[in-house]
Structure 1
């Protein structure tokens, strides 16, 4: 670990050493600026230890087995249960057993100084770090302070819930064994992914969704197909289910629903939303509200400030690791340009200082069985934005490559076309293996590729990518 105790002044001070903060520091160092980074937990952050990496390590065996069971000549060999202990051990390897030595070495390799402790803004361009021994040190930024503290799971104030020792996403991805019975509250990404994983790893899952369907931020068919697959896998999926109270002593937990039904389980996972980790980082010292999301411009500079940046989840633009890292690259380049006195408009090649993808081309994969993948706008979002939008749908079972991928392939594709400009505004795919289709959609949306040009992007036969040809044929009629 590098720790420049002889110097407390840097060009850039980054609060939060998750993947977003790491990338801000990296871009600042690449631009010739000095950088300090402050972390109160593990370097590498939520994604490395409690989110992206462990959750996908849990889910990959689930989807691989599901795919194999649909392949002739292989299905009989994979009818048994998953080796849960082996899956959890593999998960532990991908989290480096919750040790951050490798990430610390990487920070050292780029020349960023790491300060372990709790970082709080303490005035203009200053951050006070309190280390685990209670000692404090003030870091001063010549040019910028970047808040990259991420988000945390929200635990609703449902009577009895807080005292019931609920799981959040952290406990769900780091659990050492599969609970016999698991109640999952929430039908968003965390809820459906963890329901998928733990049902396959031996739990009896009950998924409770207050609204009318799963994955409410995606096209409706995505949630419908995922719900059907979870049900077939043995999970009890209930929509329109409102939890009114939770009870727990020293043993099982009891979930009480509106109407009086009681469901008993060994654990309860609450996956009902995220909140910014800004409640205790000194926002009040610079006139901002503790616990608030931070509004930023497209360079991720906080509105009303010339030195304060908020990057990643804390700005509430797109709560996804890859979008946060994208913002970090943008903001790091913008900080460097401003520090060097270079007008952004003169150096903004390829939009290097403007996070436009946050508005128009956000991509996301839900790693359930089947996978759900989307880029850009849904039909509802496009219409709300005032576009004259057309939805083009195709049943993916009609694609030759899909049938070869798996017997009885079930999936659906939709592209959203701007009828005035004839460019793609969005695309959604649901089905086994569709995550690898997504970047082509992201390129088409971000690049505003005309439909007439997409005709000449010829998909290889026989692959699932041939769905692009079928969508275009459907659009042309």
Structure 2
């Protein structure tokens, strides 16, 4: 077995692993990046990128239909083949050579194969080319992401359900699609496949987007219904049947209802990709989420050499959060290697900020739902004295110019003791581009009186900020 030494070993070459590698290289450290699938990971090929490539044509048509004059120009159906071709273009036809070349361009080595911990600072890599043992002088960063979870139901195996991977790489449109799950993946895929021509039924045990303000899920549910989706809340699947592999799926619900679909998609949660990572060789439990501190250093492992970054630490299963963590980790590794105090690093000094109270998230359904920080209920549960301020977007002329009869709602949650924002939620067409302004306000703890001087351009959807602040002052 070949043995090679690097300063840093990164296991997983998705966006998170790439950012760890880049920041570690910027600190002058040698880096090996291990990847068993496509360089670029889940986000690039089966999640964020392909899902948005599928959704954008659907949302563009929906937006056009909200504008007098443009509405008349929308005729016929969306070309699914052209949308699939667009998706394939954005996932580079599932060819990762460009991202593999990028790893080489920053001076890191790409090692293809299955990487597993093999004791302290050691990673064993197995591939068709044989076995290699990599050792790290300073750090090993685990950036392996998460898998879709399928519930344990009778008939699951024979039903051959879709997960997010099938839902984003399919090249055919099922006539009837059942989507199980009311989270982000569920509402986005219901939006996309309904727009591409499927008759979609969305099943959820509880409110949609339940971690957001309640009105967000309610408005998204109404939007889906208006688009033609059969939305059923408060139901669960109890059994699946697909005796003919090429036939439909029979679905039993706990309310006694029977459904039939050509395909069924489960969007019911994620589990960490740690079951085959060699965690037992360093005293950790395989298959578990990894407990980390604010620098993403794994707790329970001596020596501050092991990091868990992105989904597998369970802080926030979002690509942008994983990349944010990765930048912190790369700078932390560099500082520790140089024996510098961590608080001198640009990211490490404030690592806690965006991982705990300023996490932004957007769901690209119709209408879009975007939020950062705490909901009003979460803030109250955390012990803050708060005031929630709500406005409708139709008060802003910019929103009405964006879409005739614009329907949207915004809420900001104010910490009354400090008079800063704890959270902001927007729901409506095009609100995704508003969220970063809210994220800056929450992460920066900008005083509400100071926000009054951040003037929104007229006439834009962002005028909603003026109406939120005006409502707060009244």
TM range (shorter): over 0.9
Give TM-score scaled by structure 1 length: 0.97
Task: Name the structure 1 match of 2:119.
Answer: 123
| Structure 1 equivalent of residue 66 of structure 2 | 70
Alignment partner of 1:238 is 2:238: no
The equivalent residue for 2:42 is: 46
Which residue of the partner structure matches residue 225 of structure 1? 219
Q: Identify if the C-alpha distance between structure 1 residues 411 and 295 changes in structure 2 by more than 3 Å, giving closer, same or farther.
A: same
* Separation (CA, whole Å) in 1 of partners of 2:78 and 2:174: 15
Is 1:369–1:431's contact at 8 Å kept on the other side of the alignment? Answer: yes
Residue matched to 2:137: 142
| Matched position secondary structure for 2:362 | strand
Distance 1:325 1:350, change over 3 A: closer
Whole-angstrom CA distance in 2 between matches of 1:290 and 1:445: 36
Alpha-carbon shift at residue 162 of structure 1 (Å): 2.8
* Structure 1 residue aligned with 2:105: 109
Bigger Cα displacement from structure 2, 366-375 vs 75-84: 75-84
**Post-superposition offset of 1:78:** 1.0
Deviations along 1:170-195, whole A, 9 cap, x unmatched?
Answer: 00000011111000000000000000
- 5 Å-filtered alignment, 1:370-449, equals 370-449=367-446
**1:18 maps onto 2:21 in alignment:** no
Residues 466, 189 of structure 1: alpha-carbon distance in 2 compared, 3 angstrom cutoff = same
User: 1:6 deviation in Å?
Assistant: 8.0
* SS of residue in 2 equivalent to 1:206: strand
**CA deviation vs aligned residue, 1:354-391 (integer Å, no higher than 9, x gap):** 24211011011100111101111111111111111111
4+ runs of 1 displaced by more than 6 Å? Answer: none
Question: For the residues of structure 2 that align with 1:396 and 1:422, how far apart are their CA atoms?
Answer: 23
- Of the candidates 322, 330, 339, which is equivalent to residue 341 of structure 1? 339
Q: 1:20 to 1:221 in 2, by over 3 A?
A: same
Instruction: Work out the CA distance in 2 between the residues paired with 1:353 and 1:334.
Output: 12
- 1:289-327 deviations in Å (ceiling 9; x for gaps): 000000101111001331100000000001000000000
Say whether 1:89 aligns with 2:85.
Answer: yes
Change (3 A) 1:327 1:355: farther
Q: How many residues align?
A: 470
Residue 95 of structure 2 is matched in structure 1 by 99
- Does structure 2 retain, via aligned residues, the 8 Å contact 1:298–1:356? no
The CA deviation at 1:349 is 3.8
Contact 2:275–2:286 at 8 Å: present in 1 too?
yes
Secondary structure (helix, strand or coil) at the match of 2:182 reads coil
Q: Is 1:285 matched with 2:319?
A: no
**CA distance in 2: counterparts of 1:350 and 1:151, whole angstroms:** 25
Q: Which moved more, 1:300-309 or 1:314-323?
A: 300-309
1:320 to 309, 318, 321: 318
Q: CA RMSD in A?
A: 1.2
* Structure 2: distance between partners of 1:353 and 1:422: 21
Q: Secondary structure at the match of 1:460?
A: coil
CA–CA distance in 1 between the matches of 2:348 and 2:389?
A: 30
Structure 2 stretches of 5 or more lacking a match?
none
Please state if 1:80 is matched with 2:80.
no
Alpha-carbon distance, 1:79 to partner: 3.4
Matching residue of 2:190 = 195
Contact 2:39–2:96, Cα closer than 8 Å, also in 1: yes
Give TM-score, length-normalised by structure 2: 0.97
Matched position secondary structure for 1:8? strand
Structure 1 distance, partners of 2:412, 2:67, is 28
- Match of 1:427, SS? strand
Question: 1:414–1:429: 8 Å Cα contact kept in structure 2?
Answer: yes
Is the Cα contact below 8 Å between 2:2 and 2:132 reproduced in 1? no
SS in structure 2 of the partner of residue 228 of structure 1: helix
- What is the Cα deviation at residue 55 of structure 1? 0.1
1:155 equivalent in alignment to 2:150? yes
